[in-house]
Amino acid sequence: MEQVQQQWRKLNGERIRIPIAEEITNVLMRERAAGHDLKVCIGTDSQVKGKITEFATVIVFIRKGKGGFMYILNEITRQKMSIKQRMLVEVGKSIDVAYALCNIFSRYSVDMEVHVDINTNPNFKSNDALKEAMGYIMGMGFAFKAKPHAFASSSCANRIVQ
């Protein structure tokens, strides 16, 4: 799939100029030193815009009881996809990030979930991909959340691709 990938960035637009794993390690050390109890949710959403599809993957850090922050990665492709294929590409992007960072989160005892923008209601087209997505995520050993509980993908990443 031909894609244009950009750098990771913060919500304020600040570009991350070091590898994301190094940035996440620095964040976890800083947050632990500040006494924050963290949870991480990773999710991806996409939007078809004419002949391109834009994907936004987010790493959302929740400071339990004290707000949160996130990192964003945008990617664009011209490949035409069915809705089921697009949902599974979203899941694949989230899994790639979760897998690349899971050892860091384990080292710092931070709970992580993978969120998917797939509706649990069978009346929605995205539901066609639910079983495959759930099997893929859980088969990789990650906690799984779908709509309406998947705020990282359906709220945070969704705001980036609108």
What is the domain partition of the chain in residue ranges?
3-161
Positive or negative torsion for Cα 10, 2, 45, 111: negative
0.85 exceeded by pTM = yes
| Pair 91, 133: CB distance under 8 Å | yes
> Cα(130)–Cα(132) distance, rounded to whole angstroms?
6
Give the number of residues written for the chain. Answer: 162
- Backbone conformation region of residue 38, classed left if phi is above 0, alpha if psi is from -120 to 50, else beta: beta
Mean pLDDT of 11-40: 95
pLDDT in tens, 50-100: 999 999 999 999 998 899 999 999 999 999 999 889 999 999 999 999 999
105's tokens: 């989160």
DSSP annotation of 67 reads -
